[in-house]
Amino acid sequence: MGVGIRARTADRLGPQHGGKVIAGIGARLLAVAIGVIGLMWILGSLVVHGLLPSVVGRVDEQTSEWAVEHRTPNLDSVTQASSMAADTLVALAVTVVAVLGLRAWLGRWRESLVTVVAIVGELLIFLVITAIVHRDRPAVPRLDQAPPTSSFPSGHTGAAIALYGCLAVILLRNVKPRWVAVSLAVLSCVVPIVVAASRVYRGMHYLTDVMAGALASGIWLLVVLVVLLPTRTTKGP
């Protein structure tokens, strides 16, 4: 049962019950966030301490080296622009525009709230993971200035999944005709793939870093959508 249905039920039963519903939703999302952090801490520790099969480390290193060997001025420019699509300031700007645009377009706050929870939750999860997992960035020439955070997981990839993946689902649910919705959703889903590839290309992350970022953000986004969006589009706030 989605947040819209819960909200209307809470209104009928009174503010006390409404508070319990909101608290229940918050508790579930918090539990999921803690679970994702725990999973990433385990995976990150295995990666950092070399406890995964040696082939994983070799693929990481070979992928980074291959990317450096195939750099070109054109690809440098393209990947710079692609990477910027998930920079913190750009992601926040896109979120603000999306929140206001969805409210004006759909006449309710539900989808805007889901977008905010998806991206803010992903950011908080990322910050906690990088604070407890310390992985050096690839030992290759980097095209960007390295931030002080851990290489594991990729924050750019996670932000792209949370933001553009969330928008893809909202577009699929609300845009008519169907072919337009699918086209826009596909374009939105391409962004995280391009961002992930760009981060590896630019020497900022290993392949396992972007995969971990995608996994953590994907789990978080899936739960947010299930918990906060109703099973069918309904009228209301």
Residue by residue, DSSP assigns 24-59 as HHHHHHHHHHHHHHHHHHHHHHHHHTT-S-HHHHHH
Per-residue confidence (pLDDT) for residue 15, from 0 to 100? 55
Q: pLDDT, tens digit, for every residue of 123-146?
A: 999 999 999 999 999 999 999 988
Mean pLDDT of the chain: 91
Dist. CA 230–CA 3, nearest whole Å: 6
**Within a domain: residue 137?**
yes
Which residue's structure tokens are 């909200």? 7
**Within a domain: residue 22?**
yes
Q: What is the pTM of this model?
A: 0.88
Per-residue confidence (pLDDT) for residue 29, from 0 to 100? 96
**Within a domain: residue 85?**
yes
CA distances from 63 to 60, 77, 224 (A): 5, 20, 33
What domain range includes position 210?
Answer: 3-228
**Within a domain: residue 233?**
no
**Within a domain: residue 237?**
no
Domain count, the chain: 1
Per-residue confidence (pLDDT) for residue 61, from 0 to 100? 97
Task: For the chain, list residues with pLDDT below 50.
Answer: 1-13, 234-235
Per-residue confidence (pLDDT) for residue 13, from 0 to 100? 43
**Within a domain: residue 235?**
no
Instruction: Name the DSSP letter for residue 85.
Output: T
Q: Looking only at Cα atoms, what is the longest distance across the chain?
A: 64
**Within a domain: residue 236?**
no
Dist. CA 204–CA 210, nearest whole Å: 10
Residue type, 221: L
What's the alpha-carbon Rg for the chain, to the nearest Å? Answer: 19
**Within a domain: residue 197?**
yes
